[in-house]
Amino acid sequence: MSWIYLIVAGLFEIVWAIGLKYTQGFSKPLPSLITLVAMTISLILLSLSLKTLPIGTAYAVWTGIGILGTIIVGMIAFGESRDVLRILFLSLIVVSILGLKVTTPE
């Protein structure tokens, strides 16, 4: 269950990271509310995953999911670079996350 909490926490991290772009310095009420709610949910779920997962692994996976998702959304929604090297390095993050999952006892 801890890994599920962690993965969902990472997905909410993507939501709040992208949401920050729309808050305009937290001056827009609805995007700000959505961002703050996503932040809260993300941190609560991360905290729940830490009941059984090591902090180093959980934090690395949480941020890795956030990084991957935010960059992918940036590529799709905001026209950010899809350079081959960028994709290669994103792949390395995926491999690292999977490696941490495989080598971390729950």
User: What pLDDT is recorded for position 105?
Assistant: 78
106, pLDDT greater than 80: no
Average confidence (pLDDT) over 13-21: 97
Mean pLDDT of 85-94: 94
How far apart are the C-alpha atoms of 16 and 40, rounded to whole Å?
Answer: 9
Q: What is the mean pLDDT of residues 77-99?
A: 94
What residues does each domain of the chain span? 2-103
Percent of the chain with pLDDT over 90: 93
pLDDT over 70 for what percent of the chain?
Answer: 99
Model pTM score: 0.88
Spatial CB neighbours of 26, under 8 Å, sequence gap ≥ 6:
32, 35
Handedness of CA 70, 71, 73, 79 (dihedral sign): positive
